[in-house]
Structure 1
Amino acid sequence: MRKDDEIDRRALKLAPKDPGLYKRCGCTEIGANGRRRELGMRCPKLVKLQFDAAGQLKMDDKGRALWDWDGKHGLWAFQIDVAAPRGSGKDRQRIRKGGFASKTEAKNERAKIEAQGSSAKTRRVGATTLTTEDALTAWLKTRKVRKNTLVSYTGHVDNYLIPHLGKIKWRELSVDDVAEMFRAIEERNEEIQASLKINPRGKRHGNLTKAQKAAGATRELRRIAGAPTLQRIRATARKAYNDAMRAGTVPGPNPFALVELASGAAPRPKLWTPDLEAKWRKTGEVPQSNMIWRPDHVGAYLDFVAEEVAGEHEEPVYYDILDLASFTGLRRGELCGLRWDEDVNVDEGYLDVQVQLTYTLGVVEEGPVKSDAGQRRVPLDPEAVASLRRLRKRQSEARLAFGAGWVNSGRVFCRVDGSWVNPDRFYDAHVRMVRKAGLPPVSIHGLRRGAGSMAIASGKSVKAASSLLGHANEKVTEDHYVALADEMLREVTSAVRATIPRRGTGQVM
């Protein structure tokens, strides 16, 4: 077909152009019924065919004519598919708008509808280019959560979700994609474990050469992502995808909810029994991370801390914090956050847990406690009240000694100059003192679990222990915070045996 041939352009198969963008005009023709009608986008003047130097019509590999829009004829228009109104019984509806002088104007107007997201009920907008990286980055900007929660979300997105899934289109994510990500993370865990045997000092990050540092390279994360971490990564991604499903920008079901992972649930806490302690002293083996001290361990530890403070090897307030933590089970952030004026009543003998201090991104901040159940009143025994009175007197003397240099933080537990206690530095001091005391390792949260266990061991109900610890329900206390000593269980088995009637001694002669 040559350029000078008579060509019926409407009969040609034309190669496709930009999907959803087209031109139309106001030209008319006489129809079969004798009436004049508008040609719209069927007008042949809108199309300018492409010919080669020899005058032959150019074709693509599928036999379709190559062409361009005529820049001097017609106006630009667009079409877009959006979700149909609720109750219409339809999956989608098509929106068309025209009258734009340029292609750019039409594209910009269509982009406005795409950007409206849930307000425009966009479900099927053709071939969307939104990647998982774009979607998760945008999602993080909309989160109105606590700062440390946002830091956790960001770490999951930056360190795991984007590196493994970032280039995949958000609405095309599959269960296989997600499962492959977790498989790759577990493979990386094995590599990190092997490398730590060679370089145990680089636990968090890989080391960089001077040339890499000069080039601006960042250190590779070398932290092992265990089963609990994988569950938290999945929870972050599942939340982001659920939000997108509610906005109508991705289809269901949620691929992150369908992938199978190990539960990641922590084992029930375990007591440092004499046999486990003897094995630890011989091999250094710690049975699990959530170990609990026996009462004699707690007493020995507090005595050691008192000696460290008396010898001015540690902050004096550390003893006061640990002493209160040992029998109330307050979290370290709650302990550091206690305020004299708002939270403590020494005359009535109680304290109200209302705020906590957290250390996030290098800054200590005050915030609400972990949950609504965490807001609680803790009655104090006379010895605790007397201890708080002595502490307040000691702080008054320090305020006079420091004069203008005193920092009026208003905290019950503060440093010698009155400033806040950094919860993370307090934790580090605890780890240091436990090691120095030669005791089997237990975290500060282990002291909290120990308080719950000792409450049960002293004959108090699980409900009472749950209220003391500020748990939403008793099951959390029973499953994750209570470890019973063998002596208590031995009493139970003895009591059960005593209820069984026997004719004789029960001994085989």
Structure 2
Amino acid sequence: MVGADGKLAVRRLGVKCPRLRRGFGWNPRHGTWYFQYDHADAVGSRVVVSFGSLATRAEAEDQLAAVRRLLGIADELGEDPQAVADLRVQIAARIKLDHKAGLGLPEFEAMRRAVLAGVPVTEHLTVGQWLNEWLAGKTALSVATRRMYASQVRTYLIPHLGRIPLDRLRVAHVTAMFDAIAREAAAAEANNAARREADAARKAAWARGDHAAWREAKDRLAGLPAFRPPCHAATRFRLRSALRSALSAACAQQLVTVNVAALAEIGSGRSPKALVWTAERVAYWQATGNRPSAVMVWTAEQTRQFLDRAVRHEWYALYLLVACTGLRRGEACGLRWIDVDLDARMLSPAKQRVQNGWEVLETDLKSDASERDVGLADQVAEALRAQRDWQQDVRERAGSAWTETGLVFTTADGAGLHPAKVTAQFQQLAREAGLPPVRLHDLRHGAASLALAAGVDLKVVSDMLGHSGTAITRDIYTSVYDELKHAAAAAIAAAINGARPASSPVGRSRRTVKPLAATA
């Protein structure tokens, strides 16, 4: 059609389009369908909902029926006509909001629950908003747990799920998130391994004076992305636990009916197996820069080598205490003299010093099981006596500058130790001793393994570590040494030898039976 100005004029024909009809019916291959629902309440309130771009008449009729059913929820509110009319307007606004956002119609049961629970239906509560609200309400959490939850929400949950409406969250969303996190973790591990390999090549080239190789390795290292810690399987398992807890709270408030986090399959959440730094693993680490496992523990000889290096350091007693008793870092830093009985060679940790960012807080212990009595070896008791003498000496020299905290391990002015500095000093001493790397927490793993290798009962070790049950000790902290395996093999062989005679008759002759020897 050409207008008066000679330009092509375009206008919508609507139902007057001649191609919409075919014979005595509608043409299914041309045009789209729309519906309109118009409702007037007795109080004069009017609700109009209309959608278009529907492919078939049946689809339009289904959508109309669904809208009518959703708006009918308002009738369940009661007999107050004005309240019913106001709620119907709110439901209509929510329907239009979801349609505009491309979310389709709200789910009937979710809308009905929100109405009956008194939740404003026009507010589109997202997963991110709920996670922040849930975290703010968890006032009873320990500092460490709150920090862990906040990090998980900020780093993983909100970036992946935050924009999804809470009542639209599905198992598929959660599964897709964990699949993406697993892919990111694999990429991070590959990049970190490449960085360690390039760094080892750079150091080796420098040591042998090969400047060309050193420059090549240095450039290769500079071209790689920065080191980033991967989200391991155990971390993903804890992440799912946090999301499950948040959605359980949402279920309790009738915001959702199904905890989709509990239904998502993410594989095993077992912690990495603790491995011992054998000579072969040390050689592998020296050649590649890669640790065989995320959790590595020293042998008894390596632990002794570290303590020999640390013996002249003012925190020697702390490191010896952790290595021999398996105290957590926060428990050792928060240990008070009133919790120690050197004559009875016992201590009973009651407080811990933990980090909240860089700030250090004194809090109660991790759990009821953490409140325990721990026996002390003579060597540890003597080291604590020496620590008490050292503290008395520096207290007298500090005079009025001394801060009385009652802590066993302090700075020269009586202040408590910063846990991060204790870890940094531990790592420095380990490097100076020429030892393969372990975390300070791995001294706790080592204490459990050495105790088990020495034949200490699993229940006793579990109590020493402050675990709520032996299953935790067995699954997380038991690194079985070669010596323990040899002892098991020797015990089996000894039992067999004790039950079988050294010789037995065979036919008319006698054959000597050699005793079984223990093998690895």
The answer to whether the aligner puts 1:284 opposite 2:289 as a matched pair is yes
In structure 1, the residue corresponding to 2:117 is in which secondary structure?
coil
Is residue 376 from structure 1 mapped to residue 372 from structure 2 by the alignment? Answer: yes
Alpha-carbon contact 2:195-2:227 (below 8 Å) kept:
no
> Could you say what the CA RMSD is over the residues aligned between the two structures, in angstroms?
3.9
| Percent of residue pairs bearing the same amino acid type | 30
Q: 2:326 aligns with which of 326, 329, 332?
A: 329
Unaligned runs of 5+ in 1: 1-13, 26-40, 50-58, 64-77, 83-91, 112-116, 201-219, 310-315
The 8 Å contact of residues 275 and 297 in structure 2, kept in 1 or not, is answered as: yes
User: Aligned partners of 2:255 and 2:474: how far apart in 1?
Assistant: 42
* Residue 81 of structure 2 is aligned to residue 95 of structure 1: no
One-letter amino acid of the structure 2 residue matched with residue 337 of structure 1: G
Match of 1:24 in 2: 42
- Which of residues 232, 235, 245 in structure 2 aligns to 1:226? 232
Kindly provide the amino acid, as one letter, of the partner of residue 423 in structure 2.
Answer: Y
| 1:300-319 mapped onto 2 (5 Å cutoff) | 300-307=305-312, 309=313, 316=314, 318-319=315-316
Residue 462 (1) aligns with residue 458 (2): yes
1:480 partnered with 2:486: no
In the TM superposition, residue 363 of structure 1 has moved relative to its aligned partner by 0.7
SS at match of 1:376: coil
Tell me which residue corresponds to 1:216.
none
Q: What TM-score results when the alignment is normalised by the length of structure 2?
A: 0.69
Matched letter for residue 454 of structure 2: S
TM-score (norm 1): 0.70
CA distance in 2, matches of 1:176, 1:60: 29
1:265 to 261, 270, 281: 270
Are the counterparts in 2 of residues 123 and 249 from structure 1 also a CA contact under 8 Å? no
Shift of 1:373: 0.8
Q: Which residue is equivalent to 2:261? A: 256
Moved more, 181-190 or 347-356: 181-190
1:446 and 2:452 correspond: no
Superposition map of 1:30-109 within 5 A: 81=73, 93-95=76-78, 97-99=80-82
Call closer, same or farther: CA 1:121–1:434 in 2, change over 3 Å: farther
Between stretches 155-164 and 281-290, larger displacement belongs to 281-290
For 1:398-418, what per-residue CA distance to the aligned partner results, in whole angstroms no more than 9, with x for missing partners? 112112221222210111111
Q: Does 2:140 match 1:140?
A: no
CA contact (8 A) 1:399 1:406 kept: yes
What is the DSSP-based 3-state SS (H/G/I as helix, E as strand, rest coil) of the residue aligned with 2:311? helix
CA distance in 1, matches of 2:53, 2:365: 67
Shift of 1:193: 5.1
Q: Does 1:245 align with 2:242?
A: no
Secondary structure at the residue paired with 1:366? strand
CA contact 2:114–2:255 (8 Å) conserved in 1: no
Unaligned segments of structure 2, at least 5 residues: 1-34, 58-69, 95-111, 197-225, 505-511, 516-520
Q: The residue matched to 2:384 in structure 1 has which SS?
A: helix
Q: Aligned residue for 1:401?
A: 397
Query: Is 1:293 aligned to residue 298 of structure 2?
Result: yes
Q: Would you say how many aligned residue pairs link Structure 1 and Structure 2?
A: 408
**C-alpha separation between the residues in 2 aligned to 1:376 and 1:331?**
13
- Give the CA deviation at 1:120: 7.9
Give SS of 1:409's match: coil
Separation in structure 2 between the aligned mates of residue 376 and residue 268 of structure 1, nearest angstrom: 26
CA contact (8 A) 1:409 1:420 kept: yes
Residue 81 of structure 1 contacts residue 124 of structure 1 at CA under 8 Å; is this kept in 2?
no
CA distance in 2, matches of 1:189, 1:409: 43
Amino acid at match of 1:136: L
From the superposition, tell whether residues 95 and 327 of structure 1 become closer, same or farther in structure 2 (CA, over 3 Å): same
User: Structure 1 residues 388, 487: closer, same or farther in 2, change over 3 A?
Assistant: closer
2-structure distance, mates of 1:291, 1:189: 20
1:106/1:299 CA distance change after superposition, 3 Å: same
| C-alpha separation in 2, matches of 1:377 and 1:237 | 35
- In structure 2, the residue matched to 1:235 is 241
Q: Report the Cα distance in structure 2 between the residues aligned to 1:361 and 1:256, rounded to whole angstroms.
A: 29
Report the Cα distance in structure 1 between the residues aligned to 2:124 and 2:289, rounded to whole angstroms.
54
Q: How far off its partner does 1:438 sit?
A: 0.7
Tell me the SS of whatever aligns to 2:78.
strand
CA drift of 1:150 comes to 1.7
Q: Which residue of 1 aligns with 2:168?
A: 172
TM superposition shift of 1:194: 6.3
The 8 Å contact of residues 178 and 256 in structure 1, kept in 2 or not, is answered as yes
Q: Counterparts of 1:328 and 1:472 in 2: how far apart (Å)?
A: 17
Q: 1:164 to 1:456 in 2, by over 3 A?
A: closer
Match of 1:129 in 2: 124
Equivalent residue number for residue 505 of structure 1: 513
Deviations 1:10-33 (A, max 9, x none): xxxx9446x9xx6434xxxxxxxx
Say which SS state the counterpart of residue 268 (structure 2) adopts.
coil
In 2, the alpha carbon distance for the partners of 1:279 and 1:191 equals 22
Q: 1:103 to 1:461 in 2, by over 3 A?
A: closer
Summarize the Cα distance change of 1:392–1:234 in structure 2 as closer, same or farther, 3 Å threshold.
Answer: same
Distance 1:132 1:96, change over 3 A: farther
Aligned in 2, Cα 1:94/1:458: closer, same or farther, shift over 3 Å? Answer: same
Question: Residues 316-337 of structure 1: CA distance to partner in whole angstroms, max 9, x if unpaired?
Answer: 1x21100111211111100000
| SS state at 1:276 partner | helix
Q: Distance in 2 between matches of 1:498 and 1:491?
A: 10
Alignment map for 1:111-126 (pairs within 5 Å): 122=117
CA–CA distance in structure 2, aligned partners of residues 407 and 480 of structure 1: 39
Structure 2: which amino acid aligns with 1:172? Answer: R
Deviation beyond 6 Å, 4+ runs, structure 1: 46-49, 59-63, 102-108, 117-120, 123-128, 197-200
Q: What amino acid is the match of 2:268?
A: S
Amino acid at match of 1:243: A
For residues 282 and 195 of structure 1, the distance between their equivalents in structure 2, rounded to whole angstroms, comes to 17
Shift of the 169–196 alpha-carbon distance from structure 1 to 2, 3 Å rule, reads same
Worse-superposed segment, 378-387 or 158-167: 378-387
Contact 1:79 1:94 survives alignment (8 Å)? no
How many angstroms does 1:259 deviate by? 1.6
